[in-house]
Amino acid sequence: MRGGTSRGPFFLESDLPEDVAERDRVLLAAMGSPDPRQIDGLGGAHPLTSKVGIVRRSTTAGVDLDFLFAQLQPSNDTVDVTPNCGNMLAAVLPFALERGLLSVAQGATTARILTLNTGMQCDVKVQTPAGRLQYGGDARIDGVPGTAAPISINFLDTAGSVCPALLPTGRPLDRIAVQAIGIDAFEADATLIDNGMPMVLVRASDFGITGYEPAAQLTASADLRARLEALRLAAGPLMGLGDVAFKNYPKMCLISAPRDGGAVNTRCFIPHVCHDSIGVLAAVTVATACVLPGSIADGIAAALPGVRQMLSIEHPSGEFSVELELDPNNPGQVLRAALLRTARPIMRGEVLIPAHL
């Protein structure tokens, strides 16, 4: 299924091995990892198309579905189930309705979904006119061709999803000294933040770029990637994440002033490839920084006053709009985040796993 700007196979939990190590071997084989082209599996040779969704009916009170997200990489043999993925989340309810886990309501169907990776809950609504799941519609999201039916996601609690808190260091801005083999030592201002996705936000200009370069150009810059990775490794322990050398988070995000009427412009790495757009929860986290006094975005972002804001986060292939509701008594405290995605099934059937696994 495509979920937002991501893609990957979805499985019922009951169709996968219960043993985690065996399950991971099956997922790696299904996707064709490790191999840069993922030629022997379903993967699309890119982190955005090397994702897996695992779904079951929930036994948690007040929750309809449990979702476990797995991030695989084309070139290595890791199956990371620690981070969230808001894009793949958009496909969970359509998948569950397709597989009969829930009943379809008239007009629209809403379900509460628990992301098992971090314990995050959200309410997701899909269009079901005349009691039938609808994929066609007029909603458009940048990074996906054409239009589709809207899927609304209302996040209930995202602060400190993986880190100990929204601001794991307790500060909106940190000055981090970086030393690593192969690069000159440097210091960088950064906001270390987790409102659904652990992220390190830095000014693009501090790294000698404008922040408007095409994603492929930034990925091709070995020097830029080396400096960002050195900073990421230094930030991990500060964020309470420990050694992040083999983790897919925190994500790195270069920010600059908006130039197309948005709140801020971004170039995000996931974590070593520049994203052609921006992840759902990355957009929520960046939007939060835009309204946070003293953050790296303060003085760069074009945020407006008010307790309810719609912030347009610019990225290489367009923009991503996030609606934030702020606490009127606590500036920078986000009470609710909502956004719109689309999804559709691409195929259904069986993926064949080598017998020796």
Host H or E run for residue 280:
helix 280-290
The predicted pLDDT at position 306 comes to 82
The answer on pLDDT for 182 being more than 90 is no
Question: Last residue of some domain: 87, 116, 150?
Answer: 150
**Residues 251, 125 share a domain:** no
**Residues 63, 196 share a domain:** no
Give 265 or 272, the one with higher predicted confidence.
265
> What is the amino acid identity at position 354?
P
**Residues 217, 85 share a domain:** no
Tell me how crowded residue 21 is: count the other CB atoms within 10 A of its CB.
9
Burial of 233 by CB count in 10 Å (0-12 exposed, 13-18 middle, 19+ buried)? middle
**Residues 322, 283 share a domain:** yes
**Residues 320, 190 share a domain:** yes
Total domain count, the chain: 2
Closest C-alpha to 155, from 109, 112, 193, 96? 112
The answer on pLDDT for 222 being more than 90 is yes
**Residues 245, 119 share a domain:** no
Q: Return the ∠ at Cα 333 (arms to 331 and 336), rounded to 5°.
A: 130
Closest C-alpha to 108, from 86, 88, 121, 124? 124
Residue 212 lies in a domain: yes
**Residues 324, 209 share a domain:** yes
pLDDT tier for residue 331 given thresholds of 50, 70 and 90: low
Give 238 or 159, the one with higher predicted confidence.
238
* Whole-number Å distance between alpha carbons of 281 and 258: 19
**Residues 186, 73 share a domain:** no
The predicted-structure confidence for 280-314, as pLDDT tens digits, reads as follows 999 999 999 999 999 999 999 987 778 888 899 99
The predicted pLDDT at position 304 comes to 74
> What is the amino acid identity at position 250?
P
Q: What is the mean pLDDT of residues 114-135?
A: 95
Average pLDDT, the chain: 95
**Residues 102, 218 share a domain:** no
The enclosing domain of 330 has a CATH number of 3.10.310.10
Assign residue 45 a region: left if phi > 0, alpha if psi is -120 to 50, beta otherwise? left
pLDDT tier for residue 209 given thresholds of 50, 70 and 90: very high
Residue 347 lies in a domain: no
Q: What is the mean pLDDT of residues 31-58?
A: 97
**Residues 209, 126 share a domain:** no
pTM value?
Answer: 0.80
The predicted pLDDT at position 335 comes to 85
Closest C-alpha to 172, from 196, 193, 202, 203? 193
The predicted pLDDT at position 31 comes to 98
**Residues 143, 99 share a domain:** yes
Q: What is the mean pLDDT of residues 248-257?
A: 96
DSSP β-bridge partners for residue 269: 252, 274
Which residues span the domain enclosing 68?
Answer: 2-150
